[in-house]
DNA sequence: TATGAAACTTAGCACTCTCTAA
DNA sequence: TTAGAGAGTGCTAAGTTTCATA
């Protein structure tokens, strides 16, 4: 209960005002009637002290702990899957605590209860070594279902949803699924022209549902919007995707900033990340949007005749495996490919500038998919320090050039070996400094452009890794520059498969 | 056709670890 | 040696899609 109150206090400190006390007994409830009158300072400082102690551990202690952790991973972090030893993704259960949720979540502050063995379902083969529950406990169920990939499941009490323990992305099942996903997206590449023709035609359909479907598809394709399932009111934060857009989420401008037919989007998407975009659209799309919003209020559905289910059913009839989210994968990957083609300078041998091009291509995708992040702490100070460094380097170069000049004239007047060497040395120094300057400038540009953009999500989930692998091979960029160890493990299938001729 | 559960992918944040430069 | 930045990792919420059932 102490931990519970500490967390509640933390919520309060962060100006969150919803909480509930589900863990108090009768007596506690009668004693504690107003949390505002409770003083958690001692509890708080207790945990702060614990945290300080942890930070102050000696090297040996840290080593010791690391070893113990590795042993734990060794014992519980792997499973046997069809005779292969596979890494498990999340083998530690979620601890009890207060549910936060993202954005303005109605269930924020509810108690997430401790999971006990009686909540746990184990899924493994019949003839395998079935894990034993802790003494005095029983599993909820042990089943042997090879049609699913999870090893353990339980029901989380706040949202009443199933949670699973599954394999790590480096595992074979996950890798094969990933590969399959990109194959579907590649398949879309050959069908997309036809599909686009279809929805262009459908923009003028007599049937309202078809028109709405066409406009929704236009958004999903052009803007990489998510499908947008309906959500139960009051169960989660108010966020939307394409099909669940409401009239209040768009503004229609016949003319804006010298352009025609502008749609201004402003809504909260997944994780309550704001999507704000002013987009010029086709005249017919604009006309349709005017039509769809006629006689409606802000909270009314924009696409009242459409939902993700009917949309996906239609898409599946156009191509095997096609769903709304395939467009995101396809458009992300094709954007990376096109941007790489456009931004890579084959004559520039410098690996750092190649990587800048790659990151920029990656960034174009992140912008398309609206993958944002909070700007890093002290960002402007960091930027300032970097710029100072650049200026200093520029001064150093000026100085070094001056020195080179005088070394050169020295050598002219005295053609000795020593003078020649001195001159050569100075020249080398200038070159070295100039290279360092370029590297610094590249770093600064990259950092500035990346201020509020998260590259990781698209790299991990939307970009066909074979495009990256092939690009690296083509331009002799070591794959380590694009993918770290974990990413190389996840994309092992792609790295093994592809040479520089791969075409998405 | 609607509804809800199940199973899976996608998402950003906070933390820790590691590297670098002063 | 140390602080600070950046890279890497863990965590778990929040989506999408599929499937079963009414």
Give the CA A240 to C1' B12 distance in Å.
Answer: 17
Last residue of a domain, one of A291, A322, A353: A322
Residue whose Cα is closest to the C1' of C18: A309
Q: According to the model, what pLDDT value does residue A54 have?
A: 74
Q: Integer distance in angstroms from CA A74 to C1' C9?
A: 17
Distance CA A484, CA A98 (A): 33
In this structure, are A237 and A374 located in the same domain?
no
Q: Point out the nucleotide closest to A326 (alpha carbon to C1′).
A: C16
Burial A229-264 (b: 16+ CB within 10 A, else e): eeeeeeebbbbbbbbbbbbebbebeeeeeeeebbbe
In a domain, A405, yes or no: no
pLDDT at A15: 36
What is the reported pLDDT for A36?
A: 67
Task: Give dist(CA A237, CA A232) in Å, integer.
Answer: 10
Q: How much is the pLDDT for A239?
A: 95
Q: How far is the CA of A151 from the C1' of C6 (A)?
A: 35
Same-domain pairing of A4 and A153: no
Q: Does A275 reside within a domain?
A: yes
Contact positions of strand C to protein Cβ (< 7 A): 4-19
The reply to whether A211 and A278 lie within a common domain is yes
Q: Is A314 a catalytic residue?
A: no
A342 in any annotated domain = yes
Q: Say yes or no: A351 and A316 in one domain.
A: no
Domain CATH code at residue A262: 3.90.15.10
Nucleotide nearest to A271 (CA to C1'): C14
Phi then psi for residue A132, to 5 deg, are -90, 135
Q: Looking at the structure, do residues A340 and A318 belong to the same domain, yes or no?
A: no
Based on the structure, what is the number of domains in chain A? 4
Residue–nucleotide distance: A327 CA to C19 C1' (Å): 23
Both A343 and A279 in a single domain? no
Among protein residues, the one whose C-alpha sits closest to the C1' atom of B12 is A373
Q: For position A5, what pLDDT does the model report?
A: 54
Give the nucleotide with minimal C1' distance to the Cα of A178: B9
Instruction: Specify whether A49 is located in the same domain as A84.
Output: no
Residues A200 and A307 in one domain: yes
The Å distance, CA of A325 to C1' of B11, is: 15
Nearest nt (C1') to A236 (CA)?
C14
Q: What is the CATH number of the domain that holds A471?
A: 1.10.132.10
Q: What is the pLDDT of residue A14?
A: 40
Provide the pLDDT for residue A1: 42
According to the model, what pLDDT value does residue A411 have?
Answer: 85
**A312 nearest nucleotide via C1' and CA:** C17
Euclidean distance between CA atoms A288 and A294, whole angstroms: 10
CA nearest neighbour of A158 among A235, A272, A104, A238: A235
Low-confidence ranges of chain A (pLDDT < 50): 1-3, 13-19
Supply the DSSP string of A466-477, one letter for each residue.
HHHHHHHHHTT-
Nucleotides of B under 7 A from a protein CB: 2-14, 16-17, 22
Burial grade of A278 (CB within 10 A; 0-12, 13-18, 19 or more): middle
Q: Angle at Cα A51 formed by Cα A50 and Cα A56, nearest 5°?
A: 95
**pLDDT for res A119:** 94
3-state secondary structure A344-398: CCCCCCCHHHHHHHHHHHHHHHHHHCCCECCCCCCHHHHHHHHHHHHHHHHHHHH
Same domain as A310, residue A217: yes
**Which pair of structure tokens corresponds to residue A209?**
């549902």
Q: Where among A168, A191, A226 does a domain terminate?
A: A168
Based on the fold, state whether residues A127 and A266 are members of the same structural domain: no
Instruction: Spot the catalytic one: A462, A475, A483, A502.
Output: A462
Contact A303, A215 (CB under 8 A): yes
Q: What is the pLDDT of residue A313?
A: 95
Q: Specify whether A356 is located in the same domain as A305.
A: no
d(CA A312, CA A20): 40
Task: Enter the DSSP assignment of A418.
Answer: H
DSSP code per residue over A244-285:
T-BGGGEEEEEEETTEEEEEEEEEE-GGG-EEEEEEE--HHH
* d(CA A486, C1' C9) / Å: 9
How far, in Å, is the CA of A460 from the C1' of nucleotide B10?
9
Residues A80 and A21 in one domain: no
A296, A322, A348: which is the final residue of a domain?
A322
Assign residue A105 the CATH number of its domain.
2.170.11.10
Cα A32 to Cα A36, A97, A279, A308, A388, distances in angstroms: 10, 20, 54, 47, 56
C9 closest protein residue (CA to C1'):
A486
pLDDT reported for residue A7: 54
Q: Which domain holds residue A5?
A: 1-56
Query: Residue A124 has what pLDDT?
Result: 93
- Domain membership flag for residue A327: no
Spacing of A172 CA from C19 C1' in Å? 25
CB within 7 A of strand B: which residues qualify? A 54, 62, 66, 145, 147-150, 153, 155, 160, 162, 164, 166, 174, 177-178, 181, 226, 232, 270-271, 273, 307, 309, 325, 328-329, 369-374, 389, 454, 456-458, 461-462
Do residues A165 and A152 touch, judged by C-beta distance below 8 A? yes
Nucleotide nearest to A272 (CA to C1'): C14
Q: What pLDDT is stored for residue A16 in this prediction?
A: 37
Residue whose CA lies closest to nucleotide C13 C1': A101
Question: Is A19 within a domain?
Answer: yes
Question: Both tokens of residue A44?
Answer: 């708080």
Q: How far is the CA of A294 from the C1' of B7 (A)?
A: 39
């Amino acid at each position: 209960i102490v931990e519970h109150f500490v967390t509640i206090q933390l919520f309060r400190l962060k100006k969150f005002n919803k909480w509930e006390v589900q863990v108090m007994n009768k007596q506690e409830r009668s004693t504690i009637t107003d949390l505002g009158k409770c003083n958690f300072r001692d509890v708080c400082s207790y945990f702060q002290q614990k945290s300080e102690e942890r930070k102050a551990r000696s090297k040996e202690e840290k080593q010791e702990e690391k070893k113990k952790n590795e042993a734990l991973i060794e014992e519980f972090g792997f499973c046997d899957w069809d005779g292969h030893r596979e890494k498990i993704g999340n083998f530690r259960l979620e601890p009890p605590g207060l549910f936060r949720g993202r954005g303005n979540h109605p269930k924020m502050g509810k108690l997430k209860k401790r999971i006990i063995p009686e909540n746990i379902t184990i899924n493994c083969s019949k003839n395998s070594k079935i894990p034993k529950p802790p003494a005095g406990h029983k599993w909820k169920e042990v089943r042997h279902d090879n049609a699913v990939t999870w090893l353990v499941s339980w029901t989380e009490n706040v949202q009443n949803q199933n949670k699973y323990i599954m394999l790590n992305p480096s595992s074979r099942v996950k890798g094969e699924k990933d590969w399959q996903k990109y194959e579907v997206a590649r398949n879309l590449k050959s069908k997309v022209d036809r599909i686009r023709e279809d929805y262009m035609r459908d923009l003028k359909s007599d049937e309202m549902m078809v028109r709405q479907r066409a406009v929704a598809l236009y958004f999903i394709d052009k803007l990489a919007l998510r499908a947008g399932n309906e959500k139960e009111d009051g169960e989660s934060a108010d966020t939307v995707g394409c099909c669940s857009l409401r009239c209040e989420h768009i503004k229609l401008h016949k003319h804006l900033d010298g352009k025609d037919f502008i749609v201004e989007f402003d809504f909260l998407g997944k994780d309550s990340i704001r999507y704000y975009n002013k987009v010029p659209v086709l005249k017919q799309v604009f006309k349709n949007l005017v039509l769809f919003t006629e006689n409606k209020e802000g909270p009314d559905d924009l696409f009242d005749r459409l939902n993700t289910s009917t949309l996906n059913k239609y898409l599946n009839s156009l191509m095997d495996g096609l769903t709304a989210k395939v467009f995101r994968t396809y458009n992300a990957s094709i954007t990376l490919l096109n941007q790489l083609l456009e931004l890579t300078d084959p004559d520039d041998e410098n690996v750092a500038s190649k990587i800048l091009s790659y990151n920029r291509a990656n960034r174009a995708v992140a912008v398309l998919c609206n993958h944002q992040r909070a700007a890093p702490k002290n960002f402007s100070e960091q930027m300032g320090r970097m710029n100072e460094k650049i200026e200093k380097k520029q001064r150093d170069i000026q100085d070094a050039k001056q020195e080179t000049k005088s070394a050169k004239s020295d050598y002219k007047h005295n053609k000795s070996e020593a003078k020649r060497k001195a001159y050569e040395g100075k020249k080398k120094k200038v070159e070295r400094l100039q290279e360092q300057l370029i590297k610094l400038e590249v770093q600064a540009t990259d950092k500035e452009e990346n201020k509020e953009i998260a590259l990781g999500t698209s790299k991990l989930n939307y970009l066909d890794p074979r495009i990256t692998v092939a690009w690296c091979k083509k331009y002799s960029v070591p794959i380590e520059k694009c993918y770290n160890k974990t990413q190389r493990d996840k994309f092992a299938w792609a790295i093994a498969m592809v040479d520089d001729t791969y075409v998405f």
